[in-house]
Amino acid sequence: MSALRILIKLYLNSIFRFPVIRHSKDARERRQAITGVAAIGLIVVTYGGMSALTTFRLLVAGADPATPILLVAALASLFALAMAFAQGSATLSGFADFDTLMGMPVRTSTIVLARFSALYLVEAIYSAAYLLPCGAVYAVLMKPGWLFYPTYLLMTLLLPVAPIVIGSGADLLLSAAFARSKYRKGITSAIKMIFLMGFVAFSYLLPQITNRFVSAPDDAAMRTARIYPPVLWFAEGVTGELSDALLFILGSVAVCILFVWVLNRTFLPLHDRLTAGYHVKNYRLGALKRSGAGRALFLIERKRFFNSTAWVVNTVIGSILIAVLGIAGAAFSGRLMKLIAETPFRGHAAVAITGSLLFCATLSPTTSCAISMEGKELWIAKTLPVSARKWLNAKILMNLLLVGPPLVFSITLFAIFYRELLSPLSIAGICALPVSALLFCTVAGLFVNVRMPRLSWKSDTEVVKQSGAVLVMMLICFALILLTGLSMLLIRSDWVPIAASGVLIGLTAGVYRYLMDRAEQIRRNL
């Protein structure tokens, strides 16, 4: 039991980095760890506020008492499923420390249980962020009996179990199915990207879904329950149906035990399959290709990017959204222009188009974790006889080539299909502001990563989703979108996007000059 507790503590410390916050003497490393914990706190507060507001709105509108709990439980389950599918295999089957663990006097079942427990505890935090504020609002407005409180707490703790099993199980099966394929990284990344796109689309439809629950709560609740019955058991169980509560509790425990047992039985074969590399048959050495130093560094950067499923999934979504936005805007241009012309928002068409492109172009620049992704291989970049400027420029070029082409494509479509609705100056702003924002965020992301590198990691998920540089850059991008959007709405001048573009270009030039002037010093001090 002590070994299990120690392993769970180690896994949680690797995620939340509490020992770094408490004991590290490196101020920069402590700031990064604190920033990561603050990001989780911000997410928890956001989810809590959203669930409390949704519950209050539905109960005040006269919905059935179980309806808001069902909706919030469904949202928490969907989020847990998405998180488990995106990074479940990295936690459950991460084999970076496999040799170390297998050499210790610890049973395989203990390792498997510790990993599942760590994944569960992280997901339980987010589920509690959804459900506890919902339960508090329900308790204040409906004044249930005392049995509601322990039942609700117990079922809240068990809610993420089934989504974790489904999501992480699907992730493990996907990884195992294509483990020996030459293109396993590309295939798994594409499948996860499609899933993530669906999750993002669902997030955009969330206000409409909430309105549907308000207008027709019983019908919407039954549709949700047909898709995922455990949320109905959860809602009915906490509102007084003892049979549904027992069904949910016993079912969750049974699913958890079965999944851990299966994972324990297949852990070693799974390790063998996932770590077996692809080998080309009848390999013959042909002509060796040669290229310049800058091109070679870019090809290395490109290979590193596409070899990381987590990195691809976390960043390519912006490029895909830009392309989808442009194609959808062109396909429905006639209908949209007619709709806009009949509403008071005709003068804000340029703001909406510019803001959408701006959001997608700055969603998640690859440069915010490009240096961190080199990790323990950074010594190679330090010892290469190439200029540090070329090394940094390769990382900048990677993001520009990833986001730039779809951005130019969508801007061209909007400029062509909406030319009757927009003035020439508005079209110039639509062209200039997203491009200048892309340049700024690309260079600023590299600057932030230089200042906040995270080079010691076991899984690339830690860098892509938990590093301080990624969070800081995300906040900078959101602040940029908010400031430019408010400026365009309040000032209402077609010159605002052009003026903002000039400011961003000036800031980009300053940050880029700083990086290039200190490139050798930056590489040496990392």
Q: Which of 50, 235, 73, 48 is nearest to 142 (CA)?
A: 235
Question: Treating both helix axes as pointing N-terminal to C-terminal, what angle do 242-275 and 148-158 enclose, rounded to 10 degrees?
Answer: 20
The mean pLDDT of 29-39, rounded to a whole number, is 73
Q: If pLDDT is split at 50, 70 and 90, which confidence band does 510 have? A: very high
- pLDDT of res. 358: 87
Q: If pLDDT is split at 50, 70 and 90, which confidence band does 292 have? A: confident
3-state secondary structure 285-304: CCCCCCCCHHHHHHHHHHHH
- For residues 119 and 114, what is the distance between their CA atoms, to the nearest angstrom? 9
- pLDDT of res. 440: 93
The mean pLDDT of 369-385, rounded to a whole number, is 83
Q: If pLDDT is split at 50, 70 and 90, which confidence band does 206 have? A: low
The mean pLDDT of 181-208, rounded to a whole number, is 66
The mean pLDDT of 176-202, rounded to a whole number, is 70
Asked if 325 and 356 count as a contact pair (C-beta separation under 8 A), the reply is yes
pTM passes above 0.85: no
If phi over 0 gives left and psi between -120 and 50 gives alpha, with beta otherwise, what is residue 223? alpha
- For residues 129 and 76, what is the distance between their CA atoms, to the nearest angstrom? 9
The mean pLDDT of 153-181, rounded to a whole number, is 83
Chain segment 453-502, per-residue pLDDT in tens:
888 777 777 788 777 788 888 888 888 888 888 888 888 787 888 888 99
DSSP code string of 346-388:
GGGHHHHHHHHHHHHHTS--GGGSTTGGGGGGHHHHHHSSS-H
CA distances, 464 to each of 87, 311, 365, 459, 468 (Å): 11, 6, 11, 9, 10
- Helix, strand, or coil (residue 239): coil
